[in-house]
Structure 1
Amino acid sequence: TEIEQEKLKKGNLADHEWQQLHSRIGRLTDAPIIIDDTPALNVFEFRAKCRRLKAQYDIQMVIVDYLQLMHGKADGKGGGNREQEIGSISRAL
C-alpha cells in the first residue's frame, strides 16, 4: 500500500491512506486463500501438494511460514548438518 509501517502501527493515517488501506484489505478478503497446515511434510510431498493445488485451484503463490519444520528426505531423517539440509530444501523448492 506504500503506507509507512510506523504510521500504520500507530493508526496515524491520513484520510486517503485509510481509503487505500481499506481498498487493499478488501482485495485480500476477496482473495481465494488456501491454508494447509499438514504437519511434517518432506520437500517431495510439499512439491507434489503444490502441483495438485496449482492444477485444482490455479494458485499463483505459495508461502511457507516455517521452513525449518520441513524434512529434506522422504524418511524424515536429515542425516547431517541441519543448515545444509535447510539449504537443500530451499533449493529444491
Structure 2
Amino acid sequence: KLGVKEKDFISCNSTSLCIHPSWICDGANDCGDYADETNCQVSHGQKCDEGHFACPSGNCISSVWLCDGQKDCEDGADEFQCDSSCLW
C-alpha cells in the first residue's frame, strides 16, 4: 500500500511516503520527489559517459545541464533535488 509503512517497505527521502524496494529505479516517480529514481543505472545496461547524467528514460545529458532551471530530461529529473530557491 502506497504511503503505509509495512515490513520490508522503505521511507522516501523528503516525503512521508513509504514504498516497496522493487519500486526503486522502475521509472515511476513513486516518492513524489523522484528520490526513488535518482542514482539509477541507465536501462538496458547502458551507462552514461563521465560528466553526464542518466535520465530515468535512459537518455544521457551533460552534467552542466543539472539544476540549470531547464528540464532537459523528458520528466525533468535533472531539476529535482537541487539546493536552490523555488523557481516560481
TM-score (norm 1): 0.29
1 or 2 for the larger relative contact order (CA 8 Å, sep ≥6)? 1
Taking structure 2 as the reference length, what is the TM-score of the superposition?
0.30
> Which has the larger share of strand?
2
Query: Max radius of gyration: which structure?
Result: 1
